[in-house]
Amino acid sequence: MRLFIAINFDTQTIEHMLDVQERLRAVGKGNFSQPENLHLTLVFLGEIAPDRVPAIRQIMSSLSVPVLRLCFNHVGSFKRDGGDILWIGLAENKALLEVQRQLSQRLTDTGFVLERRSFSPHITLARQVKFKVEPDYCAILSEPFIARTNSISLMLSERIGGKLTYTEQFSVTAK
């Protein structure tokens, strides 16, 4: 099972992200994320044996998940040879960083092997993008927007009928 722990968003937040995505479509071509796949990855677990899922659920349940107020305030890209990855980023949020840190620490302490790269909170809007014109990222995100969230989810990533699909397996909500 290919798994990750993420924050999913409400319809209004997704609509804001889709508006930004549409402005990006005007300046580049690529593989744009489907609305149902827009999420913030907290921890990528990778291929996990099904018998390890109860341990992940227990770790998630042991966290005190806060209500988070996330401010999306910039757009950027990760440069890649086959085309850039475009994303929307967040203002620094200490509560979010603490949730991610605790999750990573508890998973590592339980024997899960996680990626070593530092956490850079963002939502991927498109992959393999080739620009027609150089984007003005400040104009693409005309103004910051806020999302409130109160849960984290264990997500399954799989291809169904050739389409990348993310399915929630378990969720923990703020108490």
Active-site annotation holds for 122: yes
Say which of 39, 88, 121, 123 is annotated catalytic: 39
Predicted TM-score of the model (pTM): 0.93
| Class of residue 91 by CB neighbours under 10 A (exposed 0-12, middle 13-18, buried 19+) | middle
pLDDT at 112: 95
Say which of 3, 70, 85, 122 is annotated catalytic: 122
Which of the four pLDDT bands, split at 50, 70 and 90, describes residue 116?
confident
What residue segments make up the domains of the chain, in order of their start?
Answer: 2-173
Q: Which amino acid is at 122?
A: H
Which residues partner with 84 through β-bridges? 129
Token duo for residue 23: 């402005």
Task: Report which listed range, 38-42, 114-118, 142-146, is most confident.
Answer: 38-42
What is the per-residue DSSP string for 57-76? HHHHHHS-PPPEEEEEEEEE
At the top level of CATH, which class does the domain 2-173 belong to? alpha beta
